[in-house]
Structure 1
């Protein structure tokens, strides 16, 4: 009898997701988010409205760094780094380099992405996407700093239909990229340390190349060779030569790399050779892209430009995608490293990013033949100032919503009331999968408002919103319980040390709205009970801990719908 009851329970759970959700809700205190509104209002877009034939730069606002791009026919595909975000490697598609849709993510399964125990800036670094016309296959190669993975490759015949499980590659270093020559031969280039005993200074790196066996999907042992030592001029001790890509034009091979580190000395440099394995000679006009030489207080500042990839555009002109930042008035980088694009002049021997060696402008002319800017329309990704509303009425999440270290499906469900989060017994400050649904900050000036229905049962329970740069640098703004009293509180965590900024006792029985607003570096957290106006808690606080150049790491601020059964934030 007991075995029969167990069998019936297993069958019911397998056949009925509703039953599973209901069972969880009976045993745990869930949270329902019925609506979220994100609104961006940056002054630069007010001052520079688009005219006919123009589009905004960056094309992907928020934490979408390290872009790589490839083309098949009229289709362009672009990927970015995702670190420990889950799913990993956001995948975008366009037919014109102006209007982009997100197709999903390349790494969307646990078998592909093993980041459950990694810090937020671990995981996936510098993915490279490339189409191989010889076997009509798309490849994505990257470094996964988690789960013992190292350098990996996945592939597909159709990026819209999902990607293979990862193939571990037998070499070290980081930032791998593929090159498929016209004769069908394949190569891998990547960043690595100098040979043992030959490191000359901190940040001294090399670029290596390997022959690649396409049938075996593995580098060929013994074929590795250093093709760049240090950078353009090793006597000047250049740091962090990385993110290499090889292109072939007019019978010659061009090696393009980032140099100078991913901060304020970042740049893009180019080399040329008559053979894919070198020797490579640097261009006399390097760098071909940088923003490092200009006044620190310049208007509409874009900085840290580099880590680029080239593609032939729809007008038969080359274009380059690259990362850059838009710091706020205090020089802080809360939106993280974003994806920009520029036309590239390759009429001479070497490519040069057009206007990439002067201060970058917020607008660009659309490529020739592109008739309409459809951003934020018909499913195309928005940029500039925009409002994004989500009422969670579909059982399919918008791809902009991501988890951290684990699948979203393990803690969310959908119903008539909206999105339900089943809280984990995990705190946002732990290096574990959290029950938090994140949206990237995409503007310096923004508001993010969430409507939530929740009543905590004990002081270890909390739900609300979080602004997260990392597990050691974040704000938590939510509702918890002490004794018989409910409290709303704001907690600041800096370098792993938490303190309560403010707390207030609440009398409520129903939905509550929570809001975070940013005016540059000033962040304001407020709440509203039914029928009442918003009330701030703690006044304006600094966004310093949400900045990449304060907190370290490689991500931008992530705004999360957060619930936990491991709360340690106690009201004053």
Structure 2
């Protein structure tokens, strides 16, 4: 025993120099990393978002009611499926990372976000895509014949095009994408009761057969489930133009195929995803057609009503159907709630309506009259738990985030790259390690975004930050895109710390398009105290403010227009994204 102890001690003595050297390197590295974290990396300790829309004050929920839209803010192009008592719904995400939010419900009223379908770099390659590109119009369907869920979509980035991913369990993640061999957009997948599968999608007309601007067609393919690929040579145009080709209908798209009572129904959006948007339906006794339009089309639209109606909902369309828990059909679809100047700052949102399919054709109940802000819950659903116990909130609500858990809420997203590439949890809050990229660049940015969900809201955040130079900036960004945004942040000018408000907007088109930025206001700021920054809006009027006591906010820049944060001014498809922003490539310079 004595000899063994001596041998152990002797060996340890020989190893001491090596261990000491390794330890010194580790300590040196750790110390350097710690210093890097402290320099120009803001730490955000709290965010409070509060929605204050008048429509919810004027229309309190009664027993048995729930609010419409289901998902407020930029959650467009919903698709839905059912397995047993479980409902799963997905929406478009463009270049948001992770991509394709996925929600789960047991009753179509109470929803939880269970994650994202495309949550890793191998699935989502949008790192160099403009904000209006990326992932569009996902479809999700459950196939009972192989007990597998499929999500099919178009990814305008990463040399993907149309893709499909699969899973046995949506709670456990999805496969890497399989690239599909067809062009066009908005693919939908359908599983027949004989085990066959089909894909439908929007496409351009055959070459030389284009009749007018906006002329599109719907195609169908047989789908090989063994090889996860469309069957070459089976493609066929089943709708050419739209419901009434003699009227040159535009943008027939977003097709979904259903089967009921032995007949096949093809439901599509028509009219473009703006003021003329609608949902239309066709029928056939064969999935390959021919398809005959319903005489009562459209079956859903808000395009016939005046602009001055109260609590206006518009642009309704791009829908999907599912059988509800009460054995009644329901349709989810996109719509907008424009502000007082008819601008779309909350983006396209997810709505729901019951569908009457007691006759030959389905019709959205009250989908052809001005929509109301609340609905009756499906028969048998007894509790509205939105905003409680982890269920997604709607109506007016307060969301408080203290970043005191190492699991980030799914509502927080990045642009073009994973959040994990720039965030770090510390004992004092969430640290953003800034990229040498600013919000105007078409690259992954070190910005953590939250969607604007109300026309009237406040977004307050508290941070600890000391910029080292004028290239450093951290604060809030309100972004509709890389070319339309407000930056409200702290930088350094000489020996002074400065808070500034910058407006960026693009003018012109194509080669004549120019992006210009303007500093609207600036002020010296004392960083010896904890700083809180605020953005709030009431319709089109936005205000930015700051506080050193967390209670009293001082305005900077007065009242500014939210015009550049709306899709009908800035274009694209997103709503306003409010970001916790940090950069070491600041170009907002105070003279």
TM over 0.5: yes
Does the 8 Å CA contact 2:82/2:88 hold for their aligned counterparts? yes
1:538-549 alignment to 2 at 5 Å? 538-549=557-568
Change (3 A) 1:555 1:12: farther
1:533 aligns with 2:526: no
Does the 8 Å CA contact 2:314/2:336 hold for their aligned counterparts? yes
Does the 8 Å CA contact 2:79/2:332 hold for their aligned counterparts? yes
1:353-502 alignment to 2 at 5 Å? 353-495=364-506, 496-502=515-521
Distance 1:534 1:53 in 2: 40
Q: Specify which of 495, 500, 503 is matched with residue 522 of structure 2.
A: 503
Q: Deviations over 1:217-253 (max 9, x none)?
A: 0000000000000000111011000000000000000
Q: Deviations over 1:298-348 (max 9, x none)?
A: 000000000000000000000000000000000000000000000000001
1:513-528 alignment to 2 at 5 Å? 513-528=532-547
Q: Specify which of 65, 69, 94 is matched with residue 54 of structure 1.
A: 65
* Paired position in structure 2 for 1:93: 104
* Paired position in structure 1 for 2:569: 550
Does the 8 Å CA contact 1:454/1:510 hold for their aligned counterparts? no
| Secondary structure in 2 matching 1:128 | strand
Distance 1:265 1:528 in 2: 44
Equivalent pairs counted in the alignment come to 564
Distance 1:198 1:392 in 2: 56
Distance 1:207 1:85 in 2: 28
Distance 2:203 2:222 in 1: 16
Change (3 A) 1:235 1:502: same
1:124 aligns with 2:143: no
* Paired position in structure 2 for 1:22: 34
Q: Specify which of 286, 290, 294 is matched with residue 275 of structure 1.
A: 286
Give 1:25 shift. Answer: 1.2
1:287 aligns with 2:306: no
1:4-19 alignment to 2 at 5 Å? none
Give 1:21 shift. Answer: 6.1
Does the 8 Å CA contact 1:21/1:413 hold for their aligned counterparts? no
Does the 8 Å CA contact 2:214/2:251 hold for their aligned counterparts? yes
Distance 1:513 1:325 in 2: 31
Does the 8 Å CA contact 1:289/1:353 hold for their aligned counterparts? yes
| Secondary structure in 1 matching 2:558 | coil
| Secondary structure in 2 matching 1:25 | helix
RMSD in angstroms over aligned alpha carbons? 1.7
Give 1:508 shift. Answer: 2.8
Does the 8 Å CA contact 2:466/2:527 hold for their aligned counterparts? no
Change (3 A) 1:211 1:23: farther
1:300 aligns with 2:311: yes
Give 1:23 shift. Answer: 6.5
Unaligned runs of 5+ in 1: none
* Paired position in structure 2 for 1:568: 587
Give 1:177 shift. Answer: 0.5
Q: Specify which of 129, 152, 158 is matched with residue 163 of structure 2.
A: 152
Q: Deviations over 1:127-176 (max 9, x none)?
A: 00000000000000000000110000000000000000000000000000
Q: Deviations over 1:468-525 (max 9, x none)?
A: 0000000000000111011100000011210001001123313200000001000000
| Secondary structure in 1 matching 2:176 | coil
Does the 8 Å CA contact 1:391/1:418 hold for their aligned counterparts? yes
Higher gyration radius (CA): 2
Q: Specify which of 336, 339, 350 is matched with residue 339 of structure 1.
A: 350
Give the TM-score normalised by the residue count of structure 1.
0.97
Change (3 A) 1:12 1:346: farther
1:73 aligns with 2:84: yes
Distance 2:367 2:33 in 1: 52
Q: Specify which of 44, 48, 54 is matched with residue 37 of structure 1.
A: 48
Distance 1:230 1:59 in 2: 31
1:216-365 alignment to 2 at 5 Å? 216-365=227-376
Q: Deviations over 1:348-376 (max 9, x none)?
A: 10000000000000000000000000000
Distance 1:18 1:68 in 2: 47
Change (3 A) 1:87 1:18: farther
Distance 2:26 2:375 in 1: 56
Q: Deviations over 1:1-27 (max 9, x none)?
A: xxx99x969x979xxx9889636416x
Q: Deviations over 1:183-214 (max 9, x none)?
A: 10000000000000000000000000000000
Give 1:257 shift. Answer: 0.1
Does the 8 Å CA contact 2:532/2:550 hold for their aligned counterparts? no
Q: Deviations over 1:230-283 (max 9, x none)?
A: 000111011000000000000000000000000000000000000000000000
* Paired position in structure 1 for 2:509: none
Distance 1:418 1:296 in 2: 45
Distance 2:81 2:26 in 1: 45
